[in-house]
Structure formats: C-alpha cells, structure tokens
Amino acid sequence: MNEQALSEAIEDLLVARNPRNMRLARAALSPGYYLRAARALQVGNRCVLIGTGFPVAGTFETDGPVGAIALYQGLQALGADPVLACAAPLADVLAADYRVLPLSCNDVADSTLEAGRWLAQWQPAAVVSIERPGLTADGRYYNMRGEDISAGAGVFDPYLSLASCPTIAIGDGGNEIGMGKIAAAIAALDIRVSVTPCDELLVADVSNWGAYGLLAFLGLWAGRDLLGEFSPLATLQYLSARGSVDGVTRANTLTEDGMPATEGDAVIRQLRELSGIAAT
C-alpha cells in the first residue's frame, strides 16, 4: 500500500478499541495525520523536544512516558538530538538516563518566558507533546475525573504555541495538549477539553501507541525496525520501579490506562506487519 493508505490504516488501528471515544476525534481530523507528523520528524541531527508526564496521585502515570521514551530512543538511533520535557517527579526520575528539560513553572506567564528563552536558544526542529495535560478555557488543568491538577502539573503549552517549528501532539481523551485543534468536534465528550492547539494532532486509544505509529514510518523510511528494538514491558518495568502508576487504576502496575503490556505489544506487532518493516 502507498504511504497515505498506510497512514489511514494506522489511524484506524490506533482507535480500534475506542475506550474513550477517540474515533470521534479521528473523524474530525484530515486523514494522513500520522504520515504528515512523521515527515516533520525527519530532522537529521537536529533537536526535537518531547513533552510528557501527566500527574496522578502525587506521581506520574505510565501513559505518555513509555511512548516518549520510545520516540526518544528511535530519534536518537536515527541521529537526532531529543530532549524530554517533564515536571517533577518524572523529570528527576528520567534525568539519570535521558536528556531532560525540567518543567518547573506552574504559572503560565512564567512558563511563557521560560519557553521563549529555551526555544530561541535551542531552535528545535519539532516539538512533540505526548499525553501532557492541556490548558482549558479557564486556564487550569484537569484530569479525566474533572479534578483540578494545576498545582505541580508544570506548564508545557507555551513550548508549542511559541514554536516556529512543526508542533505535534498525541492524546487519547480530550484534555491533552493539542486537542484545541478539534475542541468544537469533541465538546460533547465527558471531559474538560483542552484549548491548546498544535499543527498535527494524533489520537490513539492509549497515547503511548501514538508514538509507535510515528516510529512505524520513521523505521520504514530508515530501513530499520525501530519498533522491534523497543520493549514496552521493559520500559513499564523501568518506570514502575521509579514510582509510576496506571492513570486509570492509580495502582503501581505494569499497565497503561488499565490495559496490560500485552496490548501494547499487540499494537507494535500489528504496526510492524502493516509497515512491512519486520520482514526487512
């Protein structure tokens, strides 16, 4: 199949389970969004900023960081210079093994100044958000239960709104950065919808899986099985040992949004089969 058809097949696959009505979001997007976003990540040796981390029960959830690490490792393998942006405690957890930009500001105005300085200095080729809370119309952050999580969430939205490079966001519910692109289309969902937009919005039943959709294309173009080189289970174990929780159950388990690691493995297997990269 051609690349557009592959992208549309990936887009269908990644909302097939539909636990949070992301088929509705998918219908509001112009088909081919995974292809377009992946093209924007063909950046050579330039910097890519990847924001992630959703606060849950005083710590961070597994959905988001797993995909961010997968994308970080994949981009690094292709010669890019990725940086993970996240708030504490996730920033502290990852700093030992990854290049990290701590999101220490909880005030939007302060974060805007910080983002402007960072973007001017590093000139990233792309900014990606994977399961980051997005500002709502009242300037606050809310989780899927409607609880205000603004305190300690860290602010990442200005890194997308001020960027002069392509911005990509991945979400699975409606309250994440990037959902402002289709806010009117998903207004009926039972969630406080984010108003922060992006250039390319990617939706998936689990945000981690959106990163895998990008890696399917990047690996295909590079002739390298980037998805086969990544282990969701090993990454979940790494995060669990450092205090992660499932965003739905709030338990320290090797799951993502209530789903076992085998679900992520199955998605990766299907993406490898679709792209044909597993046979190369």
State the chain's mean pLDDT as an integer: 96
The percentage of the chain sitting over the pLDDT mark of 90, rounded to a whole number, equals: 97
User: Is residue 280 over pLDDT 60?
Assistant: no
Domain count of the fold of the chain: 1
> What pLDDT score was predicted for residue 59?
96
User: Is residue 227 over pLDDT 90?
Assistant: yes
279 band by pLDDT with thresholds 50, 70 and 90: low
277 band by pLDDT with thresholds 50, 70 and 90: confident
> What pLDDT score was predicted for residue 54?
95
CATH of the domain at 193: 3.90.1640.20
What is the arithmetic mean of pLDDT over 106-131? Answer: 96
User: Is residue 224 over pLDDT 60?
Assistant: yes
Q: Which two tokens stand for residue 71?
A: 């994308």
152 band by pLDDT with thresholds 50, 70 and 90: confident
End-to-end CA distance of the chain: 16
Which value, to the nearest 10 degrees, does the dihedral of the CA atoms of residues 261, 264, 268, 271 take? 160
> What pLDDT score was predicted for residue 164?
98
What is the arithmetic mean of pLDDT over 241-252? Answer: 96
What is the arithmetic mean of pLDDT over 124-146? Answer: 96
114 lies in which domain range? 3-279
User: Is residue 7 over pLDDT 70?
Assistant: yes
What is the arithmetic mean of pLDDT over 194-204? Answer: 98
